Amino acid sequence: MLNETHAPDLTSWVPSANRPDCDFPLQNLPHGVFRRRGTREAFRGGVAIGDQVLDMAMAHATGIFEGEAARAAHHAGAPALNDLMALGTTSWRALRLALSRALREDGGDAKALRPCLVPQTDVEHTVPSRIGDYTDFYTSIDHARNVMRIVRPDEPISANFQWMPIAYHGRASSIGVSGQSYRRPMGQAMPPGATAPVHGPCARLDYELELGIFVGPGNRQGEPVALADAERHLFGVCLLNDWSARDIQFWELVPLGPFLGKNFCTTISPWIVTMEALAPFRHAWNRAADEPQPLAYLESADNRAQGAIDIRLEAWLDTGKSRAGHAGPTRLSHTSFRHQYWTPAQMLTHHTMGGCNLQSGDLLGSGTISGPGPGEAGAMIELTLAGRKPLVLANGEERGFLQDGDAVTLRGWCEAPGRARIGFGECRGTVLPALAR
Ligand code: MN
């Protein structure tokens, strides 16, 4: 699966791409949609390189791309990337190879492409595809165990968890891109010990550290995607914050699942790191011998050999006060996606198994990503034991759940010996006071 675009010693004629801590070196080349900030320019597709965005609409117009790469470059410059996602692996590979060669320090095409660069500090982003449908999974066993320990300590995790990737159908309309602010949701909740619910601003606002997975080519309704083919239907990965109103969620959850507790806002990072860029960071996926082994449709040699991906993840919190002072943000947790109980390929296959058709540009949330160790929990409800053990921040403030003015920033990157480090940028969102209605 590895090719010349993954070579760790490749450098670019864009100097910032060669810094060792840069999220967007030549080996990454993630896709997003942007325009110059504060303008009424049309949004168009771009590729991140160093601290710049390569305007793909302009780059395609230079005529330097040929054949399959030119076809993909055309769609990579569109205001939404659905058509690029629909093309499939052969086209994506051709474009990545052409971009890698054109942006290379040796033998690249700086003359043609330099005018197509826009500094990342000067751009704003929008959601990178028209997301027809959004599905949020629940696939971290450490998250499931942590939450059950808090909510129903006498019960094990639900019996189905170890047999299939569980999910609910989410809301696409309220997905926004990093940098956004949103109002604390209003809702109905049953306070502990109360006999009737109350209506008011959410009192237990939380985040969930997740990855977003964009669907590449879709499948026809009634035609499930076999696990052996599932990877070909995955375009790439971004960071995702599934903001959660815990008090609203737990009151409404039974019998039909999450609704207002989840549908008010979801924030994603602007850049989609392609599956091809993630190839050097794949790992074996294991299921311990004393646990249920997957049913045949969720089992494949390839998924065993390299279904897991080692994506390092962090969640940071800064508050109105910490931004005004000198303490700076506090890191709340850190973990890796490689601990996840189910792989993205298994999620996609299970999603389609009943005949559901996925469409290019659809978004799958991985579910909260919590690791096995202390400090690896991907949500505040776990870190604070549902508010009973507040976190102490770097400036001395305490938090059981999120307060107005708080901002959560997710970060992600991949690194491995002998590989170029690649990053995801950041996924940041800020809580505004509720608009009481
Ligand atoms: Mn979630």
Q: Are 161 and 205 members of one domain?
A: yes
Is 191 a member of any domain? yes
In a domain, 206, yes or no: yes
**C-alpha 220 – ligand 1 centre gap (Å):** 27
**CA 369 to ligand 1 center in whole angstroms:** 9
Residue 242 sits in the same domain as residue 385: yes
Is 374 part of a structural domain of the chain? Answer: yes
Is the domain of 143 the same as that of 104? no
Non-local CB neighbours of 218 within 8 Å, separated by 6+ positions: 86, 233, 357, 358, 359, 360, 362
Q: What pLDDT digit, counting tens, does each position of 381-410 carry?
A: 999 999 999 999 999 999 999 999 999 999
Boundary (domain end) residue, out of 81, 108, 125? 125
Same domain, 121 and 139: no
Same domain as 373, residue 252: yes
Q: What is the dihedral of CA 58, 59, 65, 71, to 10 degrees?
A: -60
Quick one: the chain helix, strand, coil %, rounded to 5? 25, 25, 45
Relative to beta strand 31-36, strand 123-125 is: antiparallel
Confirm whether 143 is a catalytic residue.
yes
Report how far ligand 1's centroid is from the alpha carbon of 266 (Å): 9
Confidence bin at 367 (pLDDT 50/70/90) = very high
Q: What is the CA radius of gyration of the chain?
A: 22
45, 143: one domain: no
pLDDT in tens, 260-290: 999 999 999 999 999 999 999 999 999 999 9
d(CA 199, CA 217): 43
Domain endpoint, select from 125, 149, 178: 125
Distance from Cα 363 to the centre of ligand 1, integer Å: 13
Question: Do 316 and 384 belong to one domain?
Answer: yes
What's the pLDDT tens digit per position in 41-100? Answer: 999 999 999 999 999 999 999 999 999 999 999 999 999 999 999 999 999 999 999 999
CATH of the domain at 37: 2.30.30.230
Per-residue pLDDT band at 12 (split at 50, 70, 90) = very high
Which one of the listed residues 6, 31, 143, 350 is annotated catalytic?
143
> How close is the Cα of 379 to the center of ligand 1, in Å?
9
Average pLDDT taken over every residue of the chain: 97
Ligand 1 centre to CA of 268 (Å) is 12
Both 106 and 152 in one domain: the answer is: no
* pTM (2 d.p.): 0.98
Residue where a domain terminates, one of 125, 142, 164: 125
Q: Is the residue at 219 inside a domain?
A: yes
Q: What is the pLDDT of residues 172-224, one digit of tens each?
A: 999 999 999 999 999 999 998 999 999 999 999 999 999 999 999 999 999 99
Residue 61 parent element (H or E): helix 56-61
For 326-351, the pLDDT digits (tens) are 889 999 999 999 999 999 999 999 99
**φ and ψ at 421, to 5 degrees?**
-70, 135
Q: Are both 146 and 106 inside the same structural domain? A: no
User: What is the mean pLDDT of the segment spanning 295-317?
Assistant: 98
User: How far is the centre of ligand 1, averaged over its atoms, from the C-alpha of 209 (Å)?
Assistant: 8
Structure tokens at 217: 């080519």
Give per-residue pLDDT as tens, 228-257.
999 999 999 999 999 999 999 999 999 999
H-run or E-run covering 74: helix 67-76
- What total of structural domains would you count in the chain? 2
CA of 208 to the centre of ligand 1 (A): 6
Q: Does residue 284 form part of some domain? A: yes
Measured between alpha carbons, how far is residue 210 from residues 112, 113, 261, 363, 366 in Å? 38, 34, 17, 12, 6
CA of 242 to the centre of ligand 1 (A): 5
Distance (Å) from CA 34 to ligand 1 centroid? 26
Residue 410 lies in a domain: yes
Please, what is the Cα angle at 215 between 210 and 217, to 5 degrees?
Answer: 170
Q: Which residues contact 358 (CB under 8 A, 6 or more apart)?
A: 133, 215, 218, 219, 225, 233, 348, 351, 352
- 8, HSE (Cβ side, Cα atoms, 13 Å): 11
Domain with 19 in it: 4-125
Q: How confident is the model at residue 436 (pLDDT cuts 50, 70, 90)?
A: confident
**Residue 161, domain CATH:** 3.90.850.10
Taking the centre of ligand 1 as the mean of its atom positions, its distance from the CA of residue 292, in whole angstroms, is 24
345 plus 392 within the same structural domain: yes
- The per-residue pLDDT for 46 is 98
Q: Is residue 35 part of a domain?
A: yes
Q: Are both 101 and 232 inside the same structural domain?
A: no
Q: What is the model's pLDDT at position 380?
A: 98
Same domain, 261 and 345: yes
Query: Would residue 437 count as lying in a domain?
Result: no
Digit-coded pLDDT (tens) for 117-142: 999 999 999 999 999 999 999 999 99
d(CA 12, CA 51): 12
Q: For residue 437, what pLDDT is reported?
A: 64
Nearest partner of 198 among 206, 186, 207, judged by Cα: 186
> Residue 171 has what pLDDT?
98
For the chain, percent of residues with pLDDT exceeding 70: 100
